[in-house]
Each structure stands twice: as structure tokens, then as C-alpha cells.
Amino acid sequence: MDSITSAASVVAAGLAVGLGAIGPGLGQGNAAQGAVEGIARQPEAEGKIRGTLLLSFAFMESLTIYGLVVALVLLFASPFS
């Protein structure tokens, strides 16, 4: 692999994780806001809300993980080697 491809791969891996974290971060913030408002309105539903929140957090988290997988592909399993 030439050095240009390597450098591009490293930069792209960083971007994949960094940019991929933006969207889910915003989404998780929104979800947490909604959950807190829901708990404030209905404190007796806290358990149910927390469960749903964690589940949806994990879904959003997996979007970042896709970015991470792409980064890992670029770093450790480069298709251009």
C-alpha cells in the first residue's frame, strides 16, 4: 500500500467515527430530553420509560458503531492493501 492510501485511510477512519458520532449524539440528546420530560410528567412510568430509552439509545449507538466498523475496516482490513 502506498503512503497516500495509508494516510487517506487514517484520516477517513477518524472522520468516519467523528462524523458518525454527530447524528446519534443529537438523537440521544433528543431522546433523553423526551424521556426526562416524560418522567417529570409521569413519575410513576419511570421504569418503563427508562427501559425504552436504553433500548433506543442502543439503536442510536449502533449507528456510531457502523462508523467505527468502517474505521476498523480502513485501519485493519483495508480493501486497498
Partner 1 sequence: MFFNSLLTNFAALEVGQHLYWQIGNIRLHGQVFLTSWILLGALLVFISLGTKKMENDPKGLQNLLEFLWDYIRDLARTQIGEKVYRDWMPFIGTLFLFVFVSNWGGALIPWRLIKLPSGELGAPTADINTTIALALLVSLSYFYAGLSNKGWRYFEYYVHPTPIMLPFKILEDFTKPLSLSFRLFGNILADELVVGVLVFLVPLILPIPVMFLGLFTSAIQALIFATLAAYYIGEAVEEHH
Partner 2 sequence: MLAFNFFGATEGGLFDINATLPLMAIQVVALTYILNSLFFKPVGNVVEKREKFVSNNIIEAKNKLSEVKKLEADLLTQLQSARTEAQRIVSEAENESDKLYKEALELANNEANASKEKARLEIESQTSAARDQLSKQADDLSELIVNRLILEK
Which of 12, 15, 21, 68 binds partner 1 (CB under 8 A)? It is 68
Helix (H, G, I), strand (E, B) or coil at 3: helix
Which of 40, 43, 47, 77 binds partner 1 (CB under 8 A)? It is 77
CA 11 – CA 51 distance, rounded (Å): 37
CB of 61 to partner 2, least distance (A): 20
11 binds partner 1 (CB under 8 A): no
Interface positions, 12-31, toward partner 1 (CB under 8 A): none
Q: Which amino acid is at 11?
A: V
